[in-house]
Chains A and B, each alone.
Chain A
Amino acid sequence: MEKIIEIKRIPRIEGHLDFDVKITNNQVLYAHAKAVEGTRILEKILIGKNYWEVPEITSRMCGVCHAIHKLTAVQAIENAFNLEVPEDAILIRKLIAIGGHIQSHLLHLHFFVLPDCFDVESILDLININRELVLKVIKLKKFSNDIIERLGGTMVHPIVPIVGGLSRPPRKSTLLRIKENLNEMKKLAIPIVDAIFNARFPKFERRTNYIALCDEKSIPLLNGFIASSNGLKFKPSEYLKYFIRKKESYSTALHYLLMNDESYMVGALSRLNINFRYLTDQAKEFCKKYNIKFPMYSPFANNIAQALEIIHFLNETEEILANLIGKKQIDYYTNFIPKAGDGVAATEAPRGLLIHHYRTDRDGRVVWANIITPTAQNLKNMEIDGINFVKALLGKTNNIKKEVEKLVRSYDPCISCAARFYREE
């Protein structure tokens, strides 16, 4: 008996993804994650563009993780120009990245995942069940968006981060305003995160390779080397030696594997599996309260990891703000002359490791570009998890589709990012 489970346009994820699982005689043959969104050939558009246009264009890859795409592009070009950026500018960029992470995590956890746990269709139904929680989520989301808007100029596709630093420094009153709200937000975050810890996720474990940035003192977002759970450790500029890309005819996204053909996972779970020692005290208390121990091996634990990160990043915001407010003057920009170069930047997007790589000519125009997004790296691992998850489910549930949707969603896939790339034949 042959059967293909076809899930079309999975709802409540970012972008258009179909997921097929083929079953013959109770054997799961394959699982295909099919990005069906149009390829926007960004890497091709970038060629010949001025260096300052690049962050503007790459930011448009994604409406959810726009901030990190912009920051990564800026950093990669700065690396190509061999540029030292003032530390204050880096701190403000980090705040913008944190705002982006909290916003994206809330969107994923509460708008996309939580309806599954309450067995409802969407967050609109949740409003009727637990209006208070939804209002709290909205308030915290507003705060994180506010960080991006106040420091970055706009909420989506922030304007301020540019090659060399920032286009303008924030006013002190802006920083104080954010700080003023922070205490309330930290309180607000507790029930929000509790809701995720109390939610029930399917039980399924499969150990894989977990890859994230690591600097051996924090949970880095914008710097560090690339580390894996099986002991790999390398500089971002060496990434081409470790990752191989694979083209699948069924998908507009590229897929990535490690050199030994093994799949790997990036994202909040990988970040914490590698860096859990550096969680803030408050986040560690949550781990204790709910008896959570890292490393964890279930893809569904990605949700838990994201929830912990919300607490962690709120604490980090407090530290960075205290540091910035204490300064007399904010040093925000370095002058430079564009030059020919080769620059790689690796950062942590909300969904995981993100790599931008540009080569420039001596006028600072792009001659070659390569971008590896987190979701493109996760797709292969998602397919293998899909096979094993469906195997475990066979005969146990009538609604395999819904369970597979949950699995895909737990990866927090972002197909707009993944399906953007030019494929030269």
Chain B
Amino acid sequence: MKMSYERNTKPKVGIFTLSSCEGCIVQILNLEETLLEILEHIDLVDCRVLGVKHVYDKLDIAFVEGCVMSKEEEEEIKKIREKTKILVALGDCACSGGKFMMKDFEISELRVSLPGGREVFRADPIDKFVKVNYYLRGCPINREEFVELVKDLLLLRLFKESPLSVCSECILREQECLIDQGYPCLGPITRGGCNAVCPYNNKICYGCRGLSEDANIDSLINIFKRRGIPVPPYLLSLKKLVISKR
């Protein structure tokens, strides 16, 4: 993708939230001094959480957090896309609809009463409606990864996601394997970039960063079976889904 900023001006940036916990924005605020440095290099023109609302017609970069849960939010994300050069999806809600929480959960059968006469519950990733240029995955996003992305955007470089799986990152930290201990860890098939923070803290990977590119679900199911770990039902449905997409 080719792009450039206008000469001698800072790129105009907006930070938006749809339905989410706003934890990813909190992660950005948690950058503390680094955030102040970043703010010197950008022109933040729209951010409801911070109370920033300037007049502008075009944005260079939009960070969008949260998933689409209503018609209004669908319109909102389309409007944001129209005026933005680079759109970044922040966190698992924006990247995949917060689906890692909903494993084993059939939302299509669910009818709830929602304000405005809406009936069907939905939680869609934003790329169902608009083109997304970059994805920052994870729940919540990783702060260092956010800084890397911003640096790349400012220098007009391409941002690359971590090529490793969570499992490889875990091995690099020399953590004792949780699958060996009999736990259904999803590290081997999950995209890395989080520095394996969950397994490092003795907790299985839940797959909040989505499937890694070379995910071998069959093999993981076999490993689980061989070690006597009950295979979680969502792995089987995930397998079906992946096959149908390939």
Contact = CB atoms under 8 A, between A and B. Distances in A.
Interface string B78-121: 00000000000000000000100110110000101111000001
Contact of A66 (B23, B53, B70, B200): B23
Contact of B19 (A37, A64, A159, A251): A37
Interface in B1-56: 17-27, 29-30, 32-33, 36, 39, 44, 47-53
Nearest to A253: B115
Given A111-B29, A115-B51, A155-B30, A14 B22 contact: yes
A138 interface: yes
Interface string A52-75: 000011001111101000000000
A63 B26 contact: yes
B202 interface: yes
Given A60-B139, A63-B20, A422 B203 contact: no
B123 interface: yes
A48 B73 CA distance: 30
A36 to B, nearest CB: 8
Contacts of A107: 26, 29
A167 B203 contact: yes
B98 to A, nearest CB: 7
B123 A40 contact: yes
Interface in A135-164: 135, 138-139, 141-142, 145, 153-157, 159-160, 162
A122 B19 contact: no
B201 A153 contact: yes
A111 to B, nearest CB: 7
A34 B114 CA distance: 13
B197 interface: yes
Q: Which of A38, A48, A61, A167 has the most CB of B within 10 A?
A: A38
B33 A138 contact: yes
Contacts, number: 149
B147 interface: no
Contact of A38 (B19, B27, B29, B206): B19
Nearest to A123: B50
Contacts of B98: 40, 60
B101 A12 contact: no
A63 B140 contact: yes
Contact of A11 (B19, B53, B203): B53
B113 A425 contact: yes
A111 B48 CA distance: 12
A41 B101 CA distance: 11
B123 A38 contact: yes
A278 to B, nearest CB: 30
B51 to A, nearest CB: 4
B69 interface: yes
B107 to A, nearest CB: 8
Nearest to A37: B19
B101 A9 contact: no
B140 A157 contact: yes
Contacts of B51: 11-12, 112, 115, 121-123
Interface in B170-217: 197-198, 200-203, 206
Contacts of B22: 14-15, 62-64, 416
Contacts of A62: 21-23
Nearest to B199: A159
A124 interface: yes
Contacts of B123: 38, 40
A252 interface: yes
A423 B115 CA distance: 11
Interface in A111-136: 111-112, 115, 121-124, 127, 135
A252 B33 CA distance: 36
Given A63-B26, A124-B39, A141-B32, A423 B140 contact: no
A355 B76 CA distance: 33
Contacts of B29: 107, 111
A394 interface: no
Contacts of A34: 115
A401 interface: no
A287 B18 CA distance: 40
A252 B70 CA distance: 12
Contacts of B36: 127, 138
A138 B52 contact: no
A115 B52 CA distance: 11
Interface string A386-425: 0000000000000000000000000000001000001111
Contacts of B27: 63, 155-156
Contacts of B67: 38
B49 A159 contact: no
Given A38-B123, A45-B102, A63 B25 contact: yes
Which are the 9 A-B pairs with shortest beta-carbon distances? A63-B23, A38-B69, A38-B19, A153-B201, A12-B51, A122-B51, A167-B202, A63-B21, A63-B22
17 contacts: A12-B51, A38-B19, A38-B69, A38-B73, A40-B123, A63-B21, A63-B22, A63-B25, A123-B50, A123-B51, A138-B36, A142-B30, A145-B30, A156-B27, A156-B140, A416-B22, A425-B112
